Amino acid sequence: MNQDQNPYQFPDSMNPPGSGSGTAIGTLMGKTYALLAATLIVSTIASIYGMHSPFAYEHPFILMIGSFALLFAVQYTGAHRSPFAVPLVFLFAGGMGMMMGPAIEMYLRMPGGASIIAEALGTTAAMFVGLSAYAVTTRRDFSNIGGFLITGLVLAIVVSLLNIFLLHIPALQLAIAGVLVLVFSGLILFDTQRMIRGGIQEPVLLVVGLYLDIINLFMALLEIFGGNRN
């Protein structure tokens, strides 16, 4: 094997219709997945800190608003290829991690909590790898499912909020988590194909989409596994 060959490079004959060359796709995938791995590490460290931080427990709405603000900042700077985009994506990942810390701590306190988290992590990793591999290798086009998935996500969030504040039906919350698993699985397919078919060429923007898919898939699975044990 040529030492200069990109390990992510695909033969041009394997590229889906509408995609770029194998070298360009491989380079973009390498940068995207390396940055994605780094953001997940930052989130993991931040969530551990958040589990023990009074601020994370006492001011969740500040963390939520801050994370949304950072998300918009990342999208703006990423779209303009600003040098601030990468530092901002790490700040965003850190804020998201801190926000998840108290929720993860809650599951850890449940009977068998460590195994619940391990199952959710393992299932998330397996699903991400499997779905990503399928999106890369299939010639099926998932570009037309984005609007449907976003609509499903919005509806699930609205019903979830109604259930939290008004209905208080545990079984409904589990059903919503199941819907979210399907939605974010579809978004992994959608976002991966945006990378390999040339829909987005900026790694930071691709990372934000895939990062949110993974984090939200993990939290939905955590709710399902935790709900089944509780």
Q: Judge whether 141 lies within some domain.
A: yes
Q: Judge whether 36 lies within some domain.
A: yes
Q: How many domains does the chain have?
A: 1
Q: Judge whether 5 lies within some domain.
A: no
* 167 close to 126: Cβ distance less than 8 angstroms: no
* 116 close to 225: Cβ distance less than 8 angstroms: yes
Convert the pLDDT of each residue in 110-159 to its tens digit.
999 999 999 999 999 999 999 999 999 999 999 999 999 999 999 999 99
- pLDDT at 198 (0 to 100): 76
Q: Judge whether 134 lies within some domain.
A: yes
- pLDDT at 200 (0 to 100): 83
Q: Judge whether 86 lies within some domain.
A: yes
* Spatial distance between the Cα atoms of 186 and 198, rounded to a whole number of angstroms: 18
Q: Judge whether 1 lies within some domain.
A: no
> Please, what is the Cα angle at 146 between 26 and 186, to 5 degrees?
70
pLDDT band at 197 (very low <50, low <70, confident <90, very high): confident
* 156 close to 176: Cβ distance less than 8 angstroms: yes
> Please, what is the Cα angle at 186 between 106 and 14, to 5 degrees?
130
Which residues form the domain of 47? 20-229
CA distances to 147, 201, 210, 222 from 84, rounded to whole Å, are 30, 17, 20, 33
Query: Does the pLDDT value for residue 7 go beyond 90?
Result: no
Q: Judge whether 190 lies within some domain.
A: yes
Pick the closest to residue 157 from 93, 85, 219, 108 (CA basis): 219
Q: Judge whether 60 lies within some domain.
A: yes
| Residue 47 tokens, joined | 């969530």
